[in-house]
Amino acid sequence: MEKVVLVTGANSGIGLALCERLLTEDSQLLLCLACRNMKRAEDARSALLTSHINAHIDLLHLDVGSVQSVLAAAQELKARYNRIDFLYLNAGIMPNPQVDVKALFKGLFSRNVINMFATAEGLLTQQDRLNSDGLQEVFATNLFGHFLLIRELEPLLCPGGQTSRIVWTSSSNARRSAFSIEDIQHRNGMEPYSSSKYASDMLSLALNRHKNSQGLFSSVICPGLVMTNLTYGILPSFFWTLIMPIMWLIRIFTNTFTLTPYNGAEALHWLFVQNSESLDPRAKYHSLTSGLGKNYTQPQQMDIDEQMSEILYSKLLELEKVVRKKQSEGNVDK
């Protein structure tokens, strides 16, 4: 039976590279590109079809940052498919990034340079804002919209007797110090991206605890440092061009500078060919590229508290109730 695979944020960067790799791995795949911009989704499909002429590629409109869009997309998916084998939660944003330029230059010529690029610790802040649902935009896009999607798709993700998989594109920037269980949306901080990625690591653990018995397995990956629209939004492209020779040089000494979307998608692809039973729920799977350009995947234990992940899960369920209520009241008003 053909596998049904849905990828959010599939029209560029790591998501698009993943789609290319999945179609190369399995030509029978039924691939659904879930994107907020249908023109970009069409372009992505056309690009994929040039190298995979007979591929079965569907498009779905999905803005993960909008409750209404997530609910509508889930309805559409339930009408189209009777199961989803793989749900890749890859869409993500880092709006208005601010780089501490002084710390960057200091770090560039220090021993900490590799860790600095891998985790952006002490280097990167963002300015978040409220979206039209009254949620913090980064939280809503990177975490909550995906959570709501999973909740809506449970009938397709947990069909009796079969296993399904969820894979989150997290980051090494996910740090416990940026997250507060009292402020899960990160209303009061300057690192909403790091907070949202740490929350996705915790949510993945909680999902495994609650859903493994029903055949649903969740994993998180870090793609390494990859040159995509997201990274070009952090620093101007001329700056990246300027430091690229240093980056390629550093790549000889570290394996976390994957640099290309193809390399960054390594762990996402690797997970596709693994058995769910062999996965470690506490591991983050890292895409790595050696100095000689060899790609591989390595698990690393996450710095996560079971109890806190459970509290986060309960808080997300509570918030889900609130947004659903608001949504239904809104529909009644109309």
Ligand X SMILES: NC(=O)c1ccc[n+]([C@@H]2O[C@H](COP(=O)([O-])OP(=O)(O)OC[C@H]3O[C@@H](n4cnc5c(N)ncnc54)[C@H](OP(=O)(O)O)[C@@H]3O)[C@@H](O)[C@H]2O)c1
- Pick the catalytic residue: 81, 88, 193, 262? 193
Minimum CB–partner distance for residue 307 and ligand X (Å): 26
Nearer to ligand X, 4 or 149 (CB): 149
Helix (H, G, I), strand (E, B), or coil: what is residue 38?
helix
Nearer to ligand X, 208 or 228 (CB): 228
Contacts with ligand X, residue ranges (CB under 6 A): 8-9, 11-15, 35-37, 40, 62-65, 90-93, 141, 169, 171, 222-223, 225-226, 228-231
Minimum CB–partner distance for residue 234 and ligand X (Å): 9
Minimum CB–partner distance for residue 62 and ligand X (Å): 6
Per-position DSSP letters for 215-270, written without gaps between them: TEEEEEEE--SB-SHHHHTTS-HHHHHHHHHHHHHHTTT-S---BSHHHHTHHHHH
Helix (H, G, I), strand (E, B), or coil: what is residue 303?
coil
Q: Is 193 a catalytic residue?
A: yes
Nearer to ligand X, 4 or 220 (CB): 220
Nearer to ligand X, 40 or 324 (CB): 40
Minimum CB–partner distance for residue 56 and ligand X (Å): 20
Compute the Cα dihedral for 284, 143, 121, 206 and give only its sign.
negative
C-alpha to C-alpha distances, 172 to 89, 236, 287, 314, nearest whole angstrom: 16, 22, 11, 25
Residues 6+ apart with CB under 8 A from 324: none
Euclidean distance between CA atoms 220 and 58, whole angstroms: 25
Residues 6+ apart with CB under 8 A from 107: 113, 116, 123
Minimum CB–partner distance for residue 35 and ligand X (Å): 6
Residue 296 half-sphere exposure toward CB, CA atoms < 13 A: 8
Nearer to ligand X, 311 or 319 (CB): 319
Nearer to ligand X, 107 or 223 (CB): 223
Per-position DSSP letters for 263-299, written without gaps between them: HHTHHHHHHHTS-GGG--TTEEEEEEE-TT--EEEEE
Minimum CB–partner distance for residue 160 and ligand X (Å): 30
Helix (H, G, I), strand (E, B), or coil: what is residue 3?
coil
Active-site amino acid positions: 193
